[in-house]
Amino acid sequence: VRPFMIGSGEVIGVAPAPEYTFRILVTPVGPYFKGGLKPIKLRVSEYDRAAPHGTGNIKAGLNYAMSLRPTMEAHRNGYAENIYLDSQSRTYIEETGGANVLFVKEDGTLVVPKSHTDSILPSITRRSLVQVAQDLGMTVDERYVTWEEVAGGEFVECGLCGTAAVISPVGQIDNKANGADQEVVFPAGCTEIGPVMKQLRETLTGIQDGNLEDKHGWVCKIDVD
């Protein structure tokens, strides 16, 4: 790496910029996935999204770059996205290339996967949905979730959550990684968004649009001259 000079005269290699400009771009967005709220199909990726002790839990561009090749492969094979397992044991659910994952049990419990290797991005949307679920009186269980639980039919709904997606329902996850041949279909979200995911989505977007009461001070009105 060719060294260069910074303001103090110190010679260094590649380094963070000494100054930054903070800017906010506001723009309307459409559905994150093609088809709007039509349930999507995922596959378990053979790739690792983030390494233990890496930067998978940080909002950084490189985390999205790591998923570009697997995403293109998923699209070529008829899938909307990949779901990643932890790179340490390939046992636990992590997240997809661009969104967190949520599950719902038959008794209505919202299950929010925690990262076994601290590699899940702490999404603001996910945290907001957890609060919304609690406000609605739902039981929320934030814990490690194994792939075997998913494959064993422990959950009746699945959804992806993020800034643009809010919640996108998942109808099916296939696992053909490393010689596996598993197909998981979620009964309450196979043809349309399930009732729990629908209620959570409508409540959060209702708060964002100003149609429902904001109890937590999330919405701020900005006057622009």
Q: Find how far residue 190's CA is from the centre of its chain.
A: 19
Q: According to the model, what pLDDT value does residue 5 have? A: 55
- Residue 15, CA distances (Å) to 11, 12, 21, 58 in order: 11, 7, 17, 18
Residue 29 CA to residue 183 CA, distance in Å, equals 32
Per-residue model confidence (pLDDT) at position 10:
58
161: closest CA among 201, 196, 131? 201
Query: What is the per-residue pLDDT for 1?
Result: 46
- CA distances for 12 relative to 2, 201, 202, angstroms: 9, 48, 51
Give the integer Cα–Cα distance in Å for 102 and 160: 6
C-alpha pair distances (Å), 21 with each of 7, 25, 74, 95: 18, 13, 36, 30
pTM: 0.88
Residue-wise burial string across 158-181, b where 16 or more C-beta atoms lie within 10 A, e elsewhere? bbbbbeebbbbbbbbbbbebeeee
Domain 32-208 indexed as CATH 3.20.10.10: yes
Task: Give the Cα-Cα-Cα angle 132, 164, 185 (nearest 5 degrees).
Answer: 75
Cα end-to-end distance, the chain, whole Å:
47
Domain ranges of the chain: 32-208
Angle at 48 between CA 45 and CA 53, to 5 degrees: 150
Tens-level pLDDT at each residue, the chain (225 residues) = 455 555 555 555 678 888 999 998 888 877 788 777 899 999 999 999 888 888 888 888 877 888 899 999 999 999 999 999 999 999 999 999 889 999 999 999 999 999 988 999 889 999 999 999 999 999 999 999 999 999 999 999 999 999 888 999 999 999 998 888 999 999 987 889 999 999 999 999 999 999 999 999 999 887 876
- The C-alpha atoms of residue 76 and residue 71 are separated, in whole angstroms, by 9
